[in-house]
Amino acid sequence: MATETQHQATNSRRAAADIVYAWLRTKAFPDRLVEGVESDRAFVMEVVYGVIRWYRSLEWIRTQFVPHKPNSRLNAFLLVGLYQLFFMDHVAPYAAVNETVEGAKHEGAQAGANLVNAVLRRAQARQKKVREELARQSSGVRLSHPDILIQRWEKQFGEGGAAALCAWNNQRPDIVARVNGSKISFQDFCDAWRKAGLEVTPHRFAPDRFVTLSHGTAITELPGFVEGWFTVQDPATTMAPELLNAQPGERILDACCAPGGKTVVLAEHMRGQGTLVAADPAPERLARVRENVRRLGLDFVTVLEGDISRPDEMRKKLAAAGPSEFDAVLLDVPCTNTGVLRRRPDARWRFSRERLLQACEWQKRILEGAGGLLAPGGRIVYSTCSLEPEENEEQVGRWLESHPDFKLVAGRRLFPPETGTDGAYAALLVRRKST
């Protein structure tokens, strides 16, 4: 009779395979697919995100043993098993094979479980040989990225830069916390955590404001979470609000605010004085913004559902919130997410020329909407978490050509292998005062 621990291990593999199966069928966002996982959550998430991250490499490995792709459910178990064998060094090979096969047995088809067993055992026996052969494949297969992205990045960053970026994307992302300076000083924060027996590792990009947490950390149980001492966000998220430089007493609109990391930075700069409206068109994403605003005690922030790419509707909603025009607008626009593929590995498989063009068109509409809400002499910070020039420098350049009343004051891009942060771009645009 299997022990409870063995049942849990088997269930963990089956849970991971079920989620991978759902992703293979629907390409739904993985963070939504893992929402209901409670048992052995850290392991399941590592496997699910790992399979998605290394999907192209894993599919190549699978074809070495099963040339014709099996049905999606069986393929999910094969990918889960192969990921453990080839990319999880801390998992014993016999456990990766046996417990994944046990999970497959629960699907009710013995023939399918036999296939999973045969493939994984052959893969285990040929592990060294397969690794050597994988290392000789094209960069897209070897580094598990679509060719279109690698070709674009080699043109932009050079072959070495593209390879470094792919390697960065294939690492597990760090958990990073930003200390809320309006609640506690960085030194007092570090002292409190060390007193609680926690390791404090300042992030190299901003070692006076950010700390890196250990994987598996229970965020809500950390000292200061309830009190609002910190928020979990990458250092790259502060570049845009710092460029905007919101001042106490100003009227500020964070027009694409979810999940809210930039909103809390703006609020800290404003010291609770002035008007800060945080808007987003996705009501389901605003729940997290409201939670952060409540937890951090940002009572002066107004959170509302609104789409700035539809300026007439946006003006009506803003009318109820107060100002009809703003001193500054922050636009963290929807994009292709190519700067955050380490955190969102699924986005690499959605990238296409068509999606890029769609994103650029949406960004243009958002910029147009923001321009109509800005006071004379006001400023816009346009930002993305993309590395693609069409969404960044070229987008801003095109918009400035058709809006001569604006000028570019500053622009900055973060390249992950260099900064140790997510990739991001931000540009400060200022409206000229009429004479």
pLDDT at position 238, please? 95
Domain-wise residue ranges, the chain: 4-137, 175-232, 235-431
Q: What is the pTM of this model?
A: 0.92
Query: Which CATH number is 235-431's, of 3.90.226.10, 2.40.50.110, 2.60.15.10, 3.40.50.150?
Result: 3.40.50.150
The one-letter amino acid at 106: H
Query: In this structure, what are the phi and psi dihedrals at residue 411, rounded to the nearest 5 degrees?
Result: -145, 145
Query: Class for domain 4-137, per CATH?
Result: mainly alpha
pLDDT at position 66, please? 94
pLDDT at position 1, please? 36
| Residue entry with tokens 């924060």 | 189
Any residues with CB less than 8 A from the CB of 351 and at least 6 apart, and which? 146, 148, 149, 336, 338
C-alpha 238/C-alpha 265 separation (Å) is 7
pLDDT at position 2, please? 41
| Residue entry with tokens 């699910």 | 48
Q: What is the pLDDT of residues 63-76, one digit of tens each?
A: 999 998 888 899 99
Q: Is 160 exposed, middle or buried (0-12, 13-18, 19+ CB in 10 A)?
A: exposed
Catalytic annotation present for 385: yes
Of 166, 335, 360, 385, catalytic: 385
The one-letter amino acid at 206: A
Q: Is 236 exposed, middle or buried (0-12, 13-18, 19+ CB in 10 A)?
A: buried
| Residue entry with tokens 């993305």 | 384
pLDDT at position 303, please? 95
pLDDT at position 107, please? 65
pLDDT at position 105, please? 86
pLDDT at position 7, please? 46
CATH architecture of 175-232: 2-Layer Sandwich (3.30)
Q: What is the pLDDT of residues 305-328, one digit of tens each?
A: 999 999 889 999 998 877 889 999
Alpha-carbon distances of 96 from 61, 89, 101, 119, 234, rounded to whole Å: 16, 10, 8, 12, 33
pLDDT at position 43, please? 93
pLDDT at position 134, please? 98
pLDDT at position 39, please? 82
Check for a shared fold between 4-137 and 235-431.
no
State which residues of the chain have pLDDT below 50. 1-7, 435
C-alpha 219/C-alpha 177 separation (Å) is 9
pLDDT at position 65, please? 96
